[in-house]
């Protein structure tokens, strides 16, 4: 579908109101080859064409400026369609990009010494001199149960696998690889498919125009065939996820950070929430191993962590925005550290190294992100694992003796298939896993004698403060990702009047559409007309975010349940999300945002803007918690279900508390820990006859 000649005339009249000519910039219709770029914008966003056509038909013959203002005030959907197509076409135009000094995203591979150069003149010296942020001594180590190597035998029972893994994301991929390498017969069921890096749009002119549509992190917006809908009317936060080989590691920002020793022991140290049944000391060797297997880039030495070996690859550069942020933090004597990433800072074999494209959250178009489709699945498949894509699991099957027997899934032809197995591993994230457990085993679900399946959902509510600077900071350069992290206010401090804290991260801003998006809430005259060029000039490349992700507590009132009406495309009940950002969370966010504004001001920002991203739930945790007591937890310390000993959960659902950090490093390390235990004690594992 496209626009008629008459509609095009009306479009250009309206577009020139939004983006008029000035002494230095052409109007939307005068940008050169304007029709070509309009067609490209329409092709990129076919979902907007019918709404735009409606607006243009109704506008024909009216005063363009009056009509643009009316749409802005009275027809938000119509105005959004007009603004996105007008802005998208204008800023894809290569002549316009040259005028505004925007070269497009990335294609700036780091020099071999660039990361070191960015830390020149002793930039890290104040951080190292100060030492750890936390004044709380680390908890004593838990006793670690010694593991005894035991032999195992394969069942060899026709179509029955030794293990079926449900979900090919972070935790499931780690399990599948190591089980296959150990010689087990492994089948993985994944409702998504393989992604091709060349299909990701980050290095294409259309990237910003499609980033919140076809490539949105929100499945309710994206609506790929592999997605399932979420009922979120009872939550201000929509969980974000991605179904594919690699799972949400395809779409994640690739932050790679561990929980600290005291993050495992909140109850012991602060009387808050619960302790994990395991400790940092038990996890440490698995963190170190997974850093190598996941091809992590980073550097050691952060005084907030026990010492250990470096990751596989050197760190990515922090760039101009990271350096400016670090200077502000040093001025305040606040903690920061160059971030580690699941992004390859250099080539590994035939796998690409980072070009700093800065579109990590929308899939890396160079294939440089260490998503598990590139780090785990090649090894798993080489050792005999079977991966079934397009397999939407609707039930975990059981026998009458309290054991799981496999899974029933819907294939791409809409037919039910059954995969039998001795052991079932679920790794569908904190929403998908809870949904599947509740769909299985009867009215109350499977493995739910505690009544906690689907409860204690944690989502790390997130906001940010944008700082705008006079200097050109190349604020579009990646990683995105984060250039550096701060744990200055990550710890619990009762004097603040609310529990827990937050991790901060420096984030780039992207290109002109993402830049101007930050001003969308302004009145018409402060956002559109000649002002649009002033905003672009002052902000594009001159700004970065201090992002704030708070640690939320595991409240039983925050839940994943089954919706009685909404279903996915196969008729399977969709998950209903119930979540409240309570007063304590709001107080934490307000405190952190005020400090982030101080950090920008100390770094020389001329303006700051608070951005509320709390509608997105980036991390899906807690809905099948780990613990020693079957009455108060779903799985044990090895992530085997208390009620169903051959059913394991290996994703963020098992987290007793969220920690303030991004969880993927802990999910992967814990999956490796539990998988090795399963391998070592295979002959003692209860299995169905």
Going by pLDDT thresholds of 50, 70 and 90, the confidence category of residue 549 is very high
pLDDT beyond 60 at 404: yes
Contact 460, 617 (CB under 8 A): yes
Confidence category of residue 157, pLDDT binned at 50, 70, 90: very low
Query: Is the model's pLDDT at 60 over the cut of 90?
Result: no
The pLDDT, as a whole number, for residue 156 is 43
**What residue ranges do the domains of the chain occupy?**
5-100+514-539, 114-130+146-508+542-684
| Residue 497 CB neighbours (<10 A) | 10
pLDDT of 34: 93
Mean pLDDT of 344-349: 96
Dihedral sign for Cα atoms in the order 498, 499, 505, 509: negative
Return the pLDDT at 145.
57
Is the model more confident about 301 or about 159? 301
User: CB–CB of 407/433 below 8 Å?
Assistant: no
CA distance 410 to 408: 7
Q: Which CATH superfamily is domain 114-130+146-508+542-684 in?
A: FAD/NAD(P)-binding domain (3.50.50.60)
Neighbours of 632 (CB within 10 A): 13
Average pLDDT over residues 146-168: 65
- In tens, the pLDDT along 512-524 reads 999 999 999 999 9
Percent pLDDT > 90 in the chain is 90
Q: Name the DSSP letter for residue 157.
A: B
545: left (phi over 0), alpha (psi -120 to 50) or beta: beta
What is the pTM for the complete model shown?
A: 0.96
Whole-number mean pLDDT of the chain? Answer: 95
How many whole angstroms separate alpha carbon 391 and alpha carbon 373? Answer: 17
Both tokens assigned to 595: 């400090």
Residue 159 has pLDDT above 70, yes or no: no
Residues 87-95 have a mean pLDDT of 97
- pLDDT of 292 > 90? The answer is yes
Q: In Å, what is the CA distance from 133 to each residue of 260, 305, 310, 328, 444?
A: 12, 10, 21, 17, 44
Quote the DSSP letter at residue 485: E
Task: Using pLDDT thresholds of 50, 70 and 90, give the confidence band for residue 147.
Answer: very low
| Closest CA relative to residue 304, chosen from 504, 528, 49 | 504
CA 649 to CA 424: how far, in whole Å? 9
Helix (H) or strand (E) holding 594: helix 583-602
């Amino acid at each position: 579908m496209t626009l008629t000649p008459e509609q095009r005339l009306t479009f250009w009249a309206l577009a020139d109101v939004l983006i008029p000519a000035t002494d230095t910039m052409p109007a939307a219709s005068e940008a050169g080859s304007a029709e070509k770029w309009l067609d490209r914008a329409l092709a990129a966003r076919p979902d907007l064409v019918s709404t735009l056509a409606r607006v243009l038909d109704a506008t024909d013959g009216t005063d363009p400026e009056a009509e643009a203002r009316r749409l802005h005030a009275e027809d938000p959907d119509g105005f959004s369609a007009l603004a996105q197509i007008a802005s998208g076409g204008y800023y894809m135009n290569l002549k316009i990009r040259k005028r505004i000094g925007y070269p497009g995203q990335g294609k700036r591979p780091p020099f071999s010494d660039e990361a070191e150069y960015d830390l020149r003149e002793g930039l890290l010296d104040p951080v190292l001199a100060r030492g750890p942020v936390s004044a709380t001594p680390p908890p004593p180590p838990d006793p670690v149960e010694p593991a005894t190597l035991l032999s195992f035998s394969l069942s060899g029972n026709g179509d029955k696998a030794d293990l079926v893994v449900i979900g090919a994301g972070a935790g499931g991929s780690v399990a599948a690889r190591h089980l296959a390498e150990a010689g087990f017969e492994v089948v993985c069921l994944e409702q998504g498919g393989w992604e091709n890096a060349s299909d990701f749009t980050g290095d294409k002119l259309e990237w910003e125009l499609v980033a919140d549509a076809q490539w949105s992190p929100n499945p309710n917006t994206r609506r790929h065939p592999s997605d399932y809908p979420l009922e979120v009317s009872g939550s201000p936060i929509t969980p974000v996820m991605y179904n594919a080989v690699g799972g949400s590691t395809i779409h994640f920002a690739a932050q790679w950070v561990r929980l600290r020793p005291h993050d495992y022991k909140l109850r012991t140290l602060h009387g808050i929430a619960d302790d994990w049944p395991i400790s940092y000391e038990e996890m440490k060797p698995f963190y170190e191993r997974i850093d190598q297997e996941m091809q992590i880039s980073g550097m050691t030495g952060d005084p907030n962590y026990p010492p250990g070996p470096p990751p596989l690859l050197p760190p990515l550069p922090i760039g101009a925005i990271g350096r400016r942020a670090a200077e502000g933090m040093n001025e305040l004597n606040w903690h920061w550290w160059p971030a580690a990433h699941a992004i390859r800072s250099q080539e590994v074999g035939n796998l690409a190294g980072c070009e700093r494209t800065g579109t990590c959250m929308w899939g890396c178009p160079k294939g440089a992100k260490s998503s598990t489709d590139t780090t785990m699945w090649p090894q798993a498949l080489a050792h005999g694992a079977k991966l079934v894509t397009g397999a939407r699991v609707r039930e975990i099957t059981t026998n009458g003796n309290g054991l799981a027997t496999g899974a029933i899934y819907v294939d791409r032809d809409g037919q039910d298939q059954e995969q039998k197995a001795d052991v079932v591993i679920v790794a569908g994230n904190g929403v998908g896993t809870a949904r599947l457990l509740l769909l299985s085993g009867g009215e109350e679900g499977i493995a739910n004698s505690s009544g906690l399946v689907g409860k204690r959902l944690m989502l790390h509510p997130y906001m940010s403060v944008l700082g705008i600077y006079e200097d050109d900071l190349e604020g579009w350069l990646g990683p995105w990702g984060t250039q550096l992290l701060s744990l200055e206010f990550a710890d619990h401090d009762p004097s603040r009047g609310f529990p827990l804290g937050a991790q901060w991260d420096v984030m780039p801003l992207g290109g002109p559409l993402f830049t101007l998006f930050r001003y969308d809430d302004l009145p018409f005259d402060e956002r559109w007309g000649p002002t649009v060029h002033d905003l672009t000039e002052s902000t594009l490349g001159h700004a970065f975010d201090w992002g704030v992700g708070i640690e939320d507590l595991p409240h039983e009132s925050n839940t994943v349940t089954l919706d009685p009406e909404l279903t996915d495309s196969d008729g399977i009940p969709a998950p209903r999300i119930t979540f409240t950002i309570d007063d304590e969370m709001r107080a934490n966010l307000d405190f952190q945002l005020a400090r982030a504004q101080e950090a920008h001001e100390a770094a020389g920002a001329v303006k700051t803007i608070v951005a509320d991203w709390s509608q997105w739930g980036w991390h899906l945790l807690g809905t099948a918690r780990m613990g020693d007591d079957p009455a108060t937890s779903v799985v044990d310390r090895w992530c085997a279900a208390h009620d169903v000993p051959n059913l394991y959960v290996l994703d963020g659902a098992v987290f007793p508390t969220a920690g303030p950090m991004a969880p993927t490093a802990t999910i992967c390390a814990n999956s490796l820990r539990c998988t090795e235990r399963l391998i070592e004690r295979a002959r003692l594992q209860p299995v169905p006859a």
